[in-house]
Structure 1
Amino acid sequence: MEQLTILDAGFLQAEDSDPHVSLAIGAIAVLAGPMPDFAVLTAELAERITSVPRFTQVLRTHPLDLGAPEWVDDASLDISHHVRRAAVPRPGDDAALFRWAADVIEHRLDRDRPLWECWVVDGLAHNRWAILIKIHHCMADGVAATQLLTRLCDGYTEPAETRRPPRRRLPAVPLNPVDWLTAAWRTSTGLTAATTQALHGALDIAGGLLRPAAASSLTGPVTDMRRYATVEVSMHDVEKICQRFEVTVNDVALTAITDSFRTMLLRRGEQPRRTSLRTLVPVSVRSGDAAGRADNRVSIMLPYLPVEKSDVLQQLQAVHARMTRAKGSGQRQAGSALIAAANAIPFPVTAWAVRTLGRLPQRGIVTLATNVPGPRKRMRVLGREVIRLLPIPPLAMRLRTGVAMLSYADHLAFGIIGDYDAAPDVDELATGIERAVSELAELSTGHWRSTPAGTLALVQGG
């Protein structure tokens, strides 16, 4: 039996704190048709999925949370409870697929069974079909979930484990007290610097959680219904922007989200402010030797996205600067340290604390933006090509929208989840993201120079 970590269990407790949320994450793979025979497909998917022990296990909880939940084998596993078939109504376009996907993702998974579902979806236009994978966040983070998704594909092989090379026996050397004291001093100062950085990061995280964001319609109570929308942009365009302006893929993605949220606020008649969009940005801390493990290994950063700036290039520069500052602030290290410390506290105490905090009206964080690198090579399932791979993020903590980004082959997909009543404009949010990337791609073809203020200016006629 394997116990859940405090981070894994935290997703269960966060779900328990609000009856209107489901802490499931998912992805849609759209494939070229025709769809294989369902019985054959089910048998093949079942074999591939159940090769992961976590998909054959259920949670065993303890009364009054006296111990952490445990993963135990499900002796009565019935694959028909998990691999299901559906069809979208005509004309089988994206709108029909996304409405159906929102209906699936908004329902909670049954905790009496293994916490996953696999839906095979027929009826898509252009002779296509789809697979929707839905798993509880307590099972895996985005990186682990993507790895699990690739197990469904043809030709999957287990990632090679990272092994340390054998230690070489070093020849004995006489002890030099001066060298020993110098090494000890360097070690102690290094630890002090790391501790100081983590402390600063912890204060930043605490401030982000306790300091309310500017009041807006982006946060508040949610219903139990969802809307879902996506948009895909060219990775070639994104990489061209990265090279031209010396930024990261994540910087470009967050800038596109920033510009679209600014447009959303203005469309709703609200003034975007510097403190309007504090964003939860998960950061993977998964090591190479844990690539195949089904669990959560993330820390967080809490930057303000610069919706107060009207120019998309200024937004890009501000996002890059703020993310660089957040990375250097120790937030990532502090998040990992806090989780490690929480694991040392008796589980009943942490479970009670997480549930209590989850019921409080959180006002510091406004949205979620999570970026997961996906397969760069095209995948196949039973010989059918995966044409699109679309992420579905969770929604909780009084956030009314969330955005997940997933790269696949030559595209970067944005999956947007929103509360059905409070975020009826998720389609416009998707359109705004696409428009922002297109504008940045066009700007990247011009000639720019640095100004004394450290910004970039377009050289006229260049």
Structure 2
Amino acid sequence: MEQLTTLDAGFLEAEDSDRHTSLAIGGLVVLEGPPPDHPSLVSMLSTRISGCRRFIQKLQRHPFDLVPPRWVDDPAFTMDHHVRRVALPQPGGADELFRFVADHMARRMDRDRPLWHIWVIEGLADDRWAMLIKVHHCIGDGIAASHLFTGLCDDSGDTDAAGFAGHIRGARDTSPGLWQRLADVNVSPMSWMSDLWNVSTAIGSAAVRAARGTVELSAGLLHQGTGTSLNGPMTSMRRYSSAKVSLEDVNLICQAYDVTLNDVALAALTEGYRGMLDRRGERPLPESMRTLVPVSTRRSDALGQTDNRVSVMLPYLPVEEENPVRRLQLVHSRLSRTKSTGQRQAGSAFVSAANYVPFPVTAWAVRLLTHLPQNGVTTIATNVPGPSRTLHIMGRKVVDVLPVPPIALQLRTGVAMLSYADHLFFGVLADFDTMPDVDEFARSIEASVAHLVASAKRRKMIRERAERRRLSLVATG
């Protein structure tokens, strides 16, 4: 029996604070047809989930939340409670599929059973089928869920974990810490004295960064922003849409402008939000779009652990900027600045420290904070690295993997980004009544990347012409 961490349990408390919130994360997996027969599929899933204990465990809570909930084995576990088969109404296109996803992601999960479901979806156009995999956020974060998905695939044993780790900042930090080196008896006295000096210097520097990051995070969470229609109470219904762009195109933009994949993705979201505000007659201001960006703190030796290991950053998306290239450059500079201020370290330190606070205090604090109205943060955008090669389930090729984020805390939209094989997928979940233009938002993401690709190609062509001209001048003396 294992207790939930304060962060894991916090997702339960946040869900309880709003009856219209379901804090589950999802993945919509689209496969080539035909689908396997139901008994064979259930048998396969039963075998492959056996490697994850959380899939056969349920929550056990305690009176008055005196101690954190814990995971206990479910003696009544049966696959029939968790794997269902449905057929879409015709014509089985994106509208019908996304409506199904939105409806089922809005529903809360039964806490008397293990907190996951899989819907096998038939009737898709183009001879395809799909699976909607839904897991409560208290079980794990997006990276943990991505690994759970690969565990269901035929070639999961060959999946290179480093393919995930290479894109995760926490996982790349594999060097031994200073304290570990000081404990090494083989280190020479001179090296030991040097490391001791480095420890004292590093502690002072880290403390300053963490303090500065704490101030910025606190100000971002408590500051009342300009206010937009993207904040406010939510209904119990959702809308879902998705966008898909080529990783080759994204990499071209990264090389042309010396930015990261995350910069390109957030710049594309910025254009989408700018257009959404414009359609509603709202002026996109510099402080309109403070965005909660989760940052993984998961190390390479914990990639397969089912839990949450994240910190946060709170950058402003530059919706006030009209020029797409300038907007991309602003995203890059703002993210770079946010990283340098220590917000990630402060968030991680806060989460770690919370585990030492009596649970009734943290549970009460989460309930209080999640009940308070806020418009300092406008939306959430999370990026999860997925498998870098094409996968199969029971011999069927996995065509698309579309992420589905949760929304809560009066944030009426949320976007999850996931890379799979040769594409980057965006999944957008939004409140039904206040976000009727969610499909336009998704299309604007694709249009934004297309604009940046065209600009990157022009930039590359100009550079190549200049280089040819330089070489020609050198050759002619």
Whether the TM-score (by the shorter chain) exceeds 0.5 is yes
- 4+ residue runs over 2 A deviation: 158-173, 179-186, 447-450
Q: Does the alignment pair 1:15 with 2:27?
A: no
> 1:106·1:226 contact (CA, 8 Å) conserved in 2?
yes
How far the C-alpha of 1:209 sits from its partner, in A, is: 0.4
User: What is the DSSP-based 3-state SS (H/G/I as helix, E as strand, rest coil) of the residue aligned with 2:114?
Assistant: coil
> 2:225·2:375 contact (CA, 8 Å) conserved in 1?
yes
Structure 1 partner of 2:122: 122
How far the C-alpha of 1:367 sits from its partner, in A, is: 0.4
> 2:26·2:134 contact (CA, 8 Å) conserved in 1?
yes
Could you tell me which of 373, 384, 395 is aligned with 1:372? 384
CA distance in 1, matches of 2:436, 2:187: 71
How far the C-alpha of 1:39 sits from its partner, in A, is: 1.0
* Cα deviations by residue, 1:232-264 (Å, 9 ceiling, x for unpaired): 011110000000000000000000000110011
CA distance in 2, matches of 1:447, 1:417: 35
Structure 1 partner of 2:105: 105
> 1:46·1:83 contact (CA, 8 Å) conserved in 2?
no
Q: CA RMSD in A?
A: 2.4
Structure 1 partner of 2:87: 87
Could you tell me which of 310, 329, 332 is aligned with 1:320? 332
Structure 1 partner of 2:259: 247
Structure 1 partner of 2:141: 141
CA distance in 2, matches of 1:331, 1:271: 28
> 1:159·1:292 contact (CA, 8 Å) conserved in 2?
no
User: What is the DSSP-based 3-state SS (H/G/I as helix, E as strand, rest coil) of the residue aligned with 2:129?
Assistant: strand
Give the direction of change, closer, same or farther, for the CA distance of 1:35–1:66 in structure 2 (3 Å limit): same
How far the C-alpha of 1:213 sits from its partner, in A, is: 1.8
Report the residue type matching 1:314 in the other structure: R
* Cα deviations by residue, 1:343-395 (Å, 9 ceiling, x for unpaired): 11000100010011111112211001000011110010000000111000001
Correspondences of 1:7-46 after superposition (within 5 Å): 7-46=7-46
> 1:279·1:302 contact (CA, 8 Å) conserved in 2?
yes
Unaligned runs of 5+ in 2: 163-170, 470-477
User: What is the DSSP-based 3-state SS (H/G/I as helix, E as strand, rest coil) of the residue aligned with 2:382?
Assistant: strand
Q: Does the alignment pair 1:362 with 2:374?
A: yes
* Cα deviations by residue, 1:395-445 (Å, 9 ceiling, x for unpaired): 100000010001111110100000000111110100110110000000001
Report the residue type matching 1:210 in the other structure: L
Report the residue type matching 2:302 in the other structure: A
Structure 2 partner of 1:274: 286
Q: Does the alignment pair 1:294 with 2:339?
A: no
CA distance in 2, matches of 1:48, 1:254: 35
* Cα deviations by residue, 1:110-133 (Å, 9 ceiling, x for unpaired): 000000001100000011000110
CA distance in 1, matches of 2:226, 2:161: 47
CA distance in 2, matches of 1:283, 1:449: 35
User: What is the DSSP-based 3-state SS (H/G/I as helix, E as strand, rest coil) of the residue aligned with 1:147?
Assistant: helix
Unaligned runs of 5+ in 1: 451-455
CA distance in 1, matches of 2:193, 2:391: 55
User: What is the DSSP-based 3-state SS (H/G/I as helix, E as strand, rest coil) of the residue aligned with 2:126?
Assistant: helix
* Cα deviations by residue, 1:134-170 (Å, 9 ceiling, x for unpaired): 0000001000000001111002128779999999985
CA distance in 2, matches of 1:171, 1:58: 47
> 1:266·1:272 contact (CA, 8 Å) conserved in 2?
yes
> 2:240·2:429 contact (CA, 8 Å) conserved in 1?
yes
User: What is the DSSP-based 3-state SS (H/G/I as helix, E as strand, rest coil) of the residue aligned with 2:436?
Assistant: coil
How far the C-alpha of 1:335 sits from its partner, in A, is: 0.5
Aligned length: 451
CA distance in 2, matches of 1:61, 1:170: 46
Report the residue type matching 1:405 in the other structure: M
User: What is the DSSP-based 3-state SS (H/G/I as helix, E as strand, rest coil) of the residue aligned with 2:354?
Assistant: helix
CA distance in 1, matches of 2:18, 2:358: 24
What is the identity percentage for the equivalent residue pairs of Structure 1 and Structure 2? 53
CA distance in 2, matches of 1:32, 1:337: 44
Structure 2 partner of 1:453: none
User: What is the DSSP-based 3-state SS (H/G/I as helix, E as strand, rest coil) of the residue aligned with 2:362?
Assistant: helix
Structure 1 partner of 2:270: 258
Report the residue type matching 1:48 in the other structure: R
> 1:159·1:291 contact (CA, 8 Å) conserved in 2?
no
TM-score by length of 1: 0.93
User: What is the DSSP-based 3-state SS (H/G/I as helix, E as strand, rest coil) of the residue aligned with 2:400?
Assistant: strand
Give the direction of change, closer, same or farther, for the CA distance of 1:74–1:91 in structure 2 (3 Å limit): same
